[in-house]
Amino acid sequence: MIRHSSTTHAVKYYQYNREEMLSFIPKDARSVLDVGCASGRFGALVKHKIGAEVWGIEIEKKMAEEAAKRLDKMLTGDVSVCIADLPENYFDCIIFNDILEHLADPFSVLTSVMGNLSGRGRIVCSIPNIRHFKVLKKLVLKGEWEYKEAGILDRTHLRFFTYKSIRKTMDSLGYTIEILQGLKPIKKWKHLWIIYLFYPWLWDTRFYQFACVAKPSAGTFS
């Protein structure tokens, strides 16, 4: 996993627990892997609420040291390298909370971790929506594509996704999507009126992120 970051930038990234993603974790999961787990706060929440064994992968050394205090097992390094040290057919859930967009090749990572999922395993992802209304507004009306310290246009993002591209990506890699749900919808009417006016084409622009739950399609590893 590639995440270029100064200490300040890392702190901004790692201060959130992402509690809204907890509802997407299978309640019967007994073994969970949190990829890009940061300081392990979300993994600790999973341990507390679900009672699962939680592993973590984190590339930032200081954050990994913090996570090691909270999680059951910790791997420090690039996820594409750490995958080789993971047990096969083991995890009931593998989490990618705002991680795929930071990877140079998220597709090979998603393909590789299939072998680490148990027979009932699922991947759970939180993915920023590049078709968000505010991004499109600045691009179309102002011609601006300005990278920020954090957010959808975070300067460390290497890949960008939309609702449709998430579906196509998962399908092409051999996953079946069970849930693809918008998160953090726009609520201000001054932004919503144009979305509702052209709803069939713009409905997905309301959402800041998408939560995706998927499983390997039948026969993928037969």
In whole angstroms, give the CA distance from residue 136 to residue 159. Answer: 17
- pTM, two decimals, is 0.87
Q: Express each pLDDT in 30-45 by its tens digit.
A: 999 999 999 999 999 9
The residue assigned the tokens 């995706």 is: 212
Domain 7-216: which CATH number of 3.40.47.10, 3.40.50.150, 3.30.450.20, 3.30.40.10: 3.40.50.150
In whole angstroms, give the CA distance from residue 195 to residue 161. Answer: 19
Contacts of 174 (CB under 8 A, 6+ apart): 111, 114, 216, 217, 220
**What sections of the chain are H helices per DSSP?**
7-13, 41-50, 61-68, 79-82, 106-112, 133-142, 163-173, 189-197, 199-202
**What sections of 174-221 are H helices per DSSP?**
189-197, 199-202
Q: Express each pLDDT in 99-149 by its tens digit.
A: 999 999 999 999 999 999 999 999 999 999 999 988 888 888 788 888 888
